[in-house]
Structures are given as C-alpha cells and as structure tokens.
C-alpha cells in the first residue's frame, strides 16, 4: 500500500499485505496496526514519519500469529503385519542393495575388489 498518509484509525486495524509504504503513518488514540499475514517470507513497514495523535495511549504495531498447535491423527496401522527377519538376513539384503546401487554408478563392489585383491579392511 503506497501513498502520502496511512491512517490507523481502528482499535485493532488489520494489515494483511507484505509492504506498507507511506510518507506518514498516523495512529489515532488507542489504535494498533495488526500484521496478520505470516505466509510471506517478510513483512515491511516503511515510513519517513510515524505520528501518534495521543502518545499517552496504547498504540503500536503488533503481530497476530496463530500459535495454537496442530493436532494430527495417528497413522493407520499397516494393512499386513510386518514380517520379522533375522539380523543377518537383513544385513545381507542391505549390502546387496548398496552394492547394486554402487554398481549403477561404476563403483566396484566388495566382491569385485576381493577378486582383484584390492579390498582393504
């Protein structure tokens, strides 16, 4: 919002924009500018002069964020039970998967290094 004067005349005047630019921001008695849009990367309030008609009352720029927690439902259980595998079988499967991925990128596998006598412990 641009212009010469931006007047805050409501007790809690909301501002939902990103940039408030004015030569003068004028606050009437007991009014506040409430910044309400927190989906933006930044909010800027730019003014050469900020005037308060009655500086002895509660005036200002405030934020109004919703800090209430979001409640999520627990996830649904898996449709079929997970089959338990012994640790050695699981380790072998992981090694095979990693070696297979390494081979895609041209890296030698443990067995290939063993065959060439290049494997280091």
> In the chain, at which residue ranges do the beta strands (DSSP E only) sit?
5-8, 12-15, 19-27, 32-35, 44-52, 60-63
**Residue 20: how many CB atoms within 10 A of its CB?**
19
Q: Output the CA–CA distances (angstroms, integers) from residue 74 to 52, 55, 71, 79, in the order listed.
A: 51, 51, 10, 15
- Specify the number of domains making up the chain: 2
Q: Is residue 25 part of a domain?
A: yes
Q: Is residue 68 part of a domain?
A: no
Q: Specify whether the CB–CB gap between 42 and 61 falls below 8 A.
A: no
Query: Between 16 and 115, where is the model more confident?
Result: 16
Looking at the structure, tell me whether residues 49 and 97 fall in a common domain: no
pLDDT in tens, 53-107: 998 899 999 987 766 666 777 877 766 666 667 888 888 888 888 777 766 666 6
Looking at the structure, tell me whether residues 12 and 54 fall in a common domain: yes
Predicted confidence (pLDDT) at residue 25 exceeds the cutoff of 80: yes
Looking at the structure, tell me whether residues 59 and 9 fall in a common domain: yes
Q: Is residue 72 part of a domain?
A: no
pLDDT in tens, 75-90: 777 666 666 678 888 8
Predicted confidence (pLDDT) at residue 52 exceeds the cutoff of 60: yes
pTM of the model as a whole:
0.51
Domain span at residue 101?
A: 87-116
Computed over every residue of the chain, the mean pLDDT equals: 81
């Amino acid at each position: 919002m641009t212009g010469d004067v931006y007047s805050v005349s409501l007790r809690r005047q909301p501002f939902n924009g990103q940039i408030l630019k004015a030569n003068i921001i004028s606050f009437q008695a007991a009014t506040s500018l409430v910044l309400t849009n927190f989906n933006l990367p930044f909010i800027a309030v730019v003014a050469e002069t900020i005037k308060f008609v009655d500086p002895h009352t509660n005036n200002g720029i405030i934020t109004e964020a919703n800090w209430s927690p979001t409640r999520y439902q627990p996830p649904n259980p898996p449709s079929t039970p997970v089959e338990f595998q012994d640790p050695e079988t699981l380790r072998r499967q992981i090694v095979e998967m990693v070696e297979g991925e390494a081979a895609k990128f041209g890296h030698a596998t443990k067995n290939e290094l063993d065959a060439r006598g290049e494997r280091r412990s």
